[in-house]
């Protein structure tokens, strides 16, 4: 038997109901903030991610799915989508359009990581990007929108953490200080952090290995090395969040794993997810567009929600979202009744009523199926009912059965539904 590839999975009903719920909430919230949807290809030239994400990041160096196309072009399945969105922004000259460019996406990403709770090799992200402003007010509005998506999706007990990782003026000085300090300590760190201390020292601060944490706590804080402009920017972001009553924790060790981030970074964590407890991450990337070839300074900020993790947490908190209620199960008695109810079912479905038909089997078996499908009502239709113009409608919860006309079917089902 052929099975799904390791790190991938099939998402089946009723779980897909929760996925649809989360995605519909995200679309509704983001469109209320005037974001438009962008759909980029799931594969791009490898150079896009090497330049945009950073060749020394774990994503590029260890996790990407990369292959040679027939013309020997190096192609990569997208491991994240910000670089693709900025590529599209540059290619289609979106900088020529009025106002900020506010774009959102929902779709699959691919990284060859070790599968664990809520983490897969094909995973889904809900994300957004705002391009065209350095204002800290924009940062705060993006974080506000994220909180709305999570809250309206049904996530509870989450925690917002924020930091600033400086800019091209002050971060290199901090990295030099950090790298110097790591020279004395790297022998005490895990193998990954020993490598990172040379290639990408900022990522050492984000290490999750428990034995490394006491050492990491002794490392310099980037907040002590911010330039005046970055300090003012971060203070303004916090003020805008305070104005909204959004609670947060400033965490100086919070960094992002991708090279293009500057200034504001943020994460939302949730205890139900275990060690890998981040639901989403985001931040500002003021130099990414120029790094990818833009002739126009196009500062931006964005985020990506790990949809797999969000759905899992919402599902655990609200198991009723998984329950699928069928409005009406129809049990035709005979061939003539079957022809009759197929037309009737189409009319009811056009009215927004969910209908399932018992295409074969006797009445007893039909009623058993209706119960298993959690149907609210069962409609029994035979030759006599068709001739009389009335049907037998049974309410499954109470067991009560009533004769109803065609019009009364809709009235009764709508009354119970709303």
- Report, as an integer, the average pLDDT of 86-96: 94
Number of domains in the chain: 2
Greatest distance between any 2 Cα atoms in the chain: 92
**CB proximity list for 39: less than 8 A, separation 6 or greater:** 105, 107
- Report, as an integer, the average pLDDT of 48-64: 70
pLDDT at 310 over 90: yes
Report yes or no on 193 lying in a domain.
no
Give the structural domain span for 341. 325-417
* Band of residue 53 on the pLDDT scale cut at 50, 70, 90: low
pLDDT at 409 over 80: yes
The answer on 344 and 308 residing in a single domain is no
The answer on 268 and 129 residing in a single domain is yes
pLDDT per position as a tens digit, 343-373: 999 999 999 899 999 998 888 998 999 988 8
**CB proximity list for 161: less than 8 A, separation 6 or greater:** 248, 249, 250, 251, 254, 266, 267, 268, 269
pLDDT at 263 over 70: yes
Report yes or no on 5 lying in a domain.
no
The answer on 248 and 119 residing in a single domain is yes
pLDDT of residue 208: 78
- Give the CATH number, domain containing residue 43: 3.30.930.10
Instruction: Indicate the residue among 319, 354, 376 that finishes a domain.
Output: 319
Instruction: Indicate the residue among 319, 342, 370 that finishes a domain.
Output: 319
Report yes or no on 386 lying in a domain.
yes
Is residue 396 within 8 A of residue 376, CB to CB? The reply is: yes
The answer on 344 and 300 residing in a single domain is no
Report yes or no on 95 lying in a domain.
yes
The answer on 279 and 387 residing in a single domain is no
Report yes or no on 339 lying in a domain.
yes
- Give the CATH number, domain containing residue 369: 3.40.50.800
The answer on 381 and 296 residing in a single domain is no
The answer on 120 and 22 residing in a single domain is yes
The answer on 367 and 242 residing in a single domain is no
Number of Cβ within 10 Å of residue 135's Cβ equals 17
Q: What is the pTM of this model?
A: 0.87
Report yes or no on 198 lying in a domain.
no
What is the overall mean pLDDT for the chain?
Answer: 89
- Report, as an integer, the average pLDDT of 100-117: 90
**CB proximity list for 413: less than 8 A, separation 6 or greater:** 327, 328, 348, 353, 376, 377
Report yes or no on 83 lying in a domain.
yes
Is residue 392 within 8 A of residue 401, CB to CB? The reply is: yes
Instruction: Indicate the residue among 263, 296, 319 that finishes a domain.
Output: 319
pLDDT per position as a tens digit, 200-217: 888 888 787 888 888 888
Q: Which residue has the higher pLDDT, 320 or 136?
A: 136
The answer on 122 and 43 residing in a single domain is yes
The answer on 339 and 313 residing in a single domain is no
The answer on 372 and 243 residing in a single domain is no
* Band of residue 45 on the pLDDT scale cut at 50, 70, 90: very high
Report yes or no on 217 lying in a domain.
no
- The C-alpha atoms of residue 285 and residue 267 are separated, in whole angstroms, by 15
* Band of residue 61 on the pLDDT scale cut at 50, 70, 90: low
The answer on 231 and 287 residing in a single domain is yes
């Amino acid at each position: 038997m052929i099975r799904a590839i390791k790190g991938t999975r099939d998402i089946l009903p009723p779980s897909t109901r929760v996925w649809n719920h989360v995605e519909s909430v995200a679309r509704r919230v983001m469109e209320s903030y005037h974001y438009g949807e962008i759909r980029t290809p799931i594969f791009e030239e490898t150079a896009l991610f090497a330049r945009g994400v950073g060749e020394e990041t774990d994503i590029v160096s260890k996790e990407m799915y990369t292959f040679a196309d027939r013309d020997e072009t190096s192609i990569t399945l997208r491991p994240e989508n910000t670089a693709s969105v900025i590529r599209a922004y540059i290619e289609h000259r979106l900088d020529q359009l009025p106002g900020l460019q506010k774009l959102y996406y929902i779709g699959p990403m691919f990284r060859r990581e070790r599968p664990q709770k809520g983490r897969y090799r094909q995973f889904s992200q809900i994300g957004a990007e705002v391009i065209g402003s350095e204002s800290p007010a924009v940062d705060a509005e993006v974080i506000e929108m994220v909180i709305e998506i999570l809250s309206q999706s049904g996530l509870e007990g989450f925690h917002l953490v924020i930091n600033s990782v400086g800019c091209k003026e002050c971060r290199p000085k901090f990295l030099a200080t950090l790298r110097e300090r790591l020279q004395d300590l790297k022998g005490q760190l895990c193998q990954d952090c020993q490598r990172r201390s040379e290639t990408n020292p900022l990522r050492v601060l984000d290490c999750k290995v428990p034995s490394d944490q006491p050492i990491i706590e002794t490392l310099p804080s980037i907040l002590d090395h911010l330039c005046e402009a970055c300090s003012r920017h971060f203070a303004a972001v916090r003020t805008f969040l305070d104005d909204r009553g959004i609670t947060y924790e400033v965490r100086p060790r919070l960094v992002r794993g991708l090279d293009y981030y500057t200034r504001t970074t943020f994460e939302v964590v949730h205890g139900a997810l275990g060690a890998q407890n981040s639901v989403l991450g985001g931040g500002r990337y003021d130099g990414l567009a120029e790094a990818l070839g833009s002739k126009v300074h196009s500062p931006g900020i964005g985020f990506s929600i790990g949809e797999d993790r969000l759905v899992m947490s919402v599902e655990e908190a609200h198991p009723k979202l998984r329950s699928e209620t069928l409005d009406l199960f129809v049990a035709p008695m005979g061939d003539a009744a079957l022809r009759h109810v197929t037309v009737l079912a189409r009319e009811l479905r056009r009215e927004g009523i969910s209908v399932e038909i018992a295409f074969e089997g006797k009445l007893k078996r039909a009623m058993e199926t209706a119960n298993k499908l959690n149907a609210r009502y069962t409609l029994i239709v035979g030759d006599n009912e068709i001739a009389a113009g009335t049907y037998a409608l049974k309410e499954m919860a109470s067991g009560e059965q009533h004769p109803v006309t065609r019009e009364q079917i809709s009235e009764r089902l709508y009354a119970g539904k709303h």
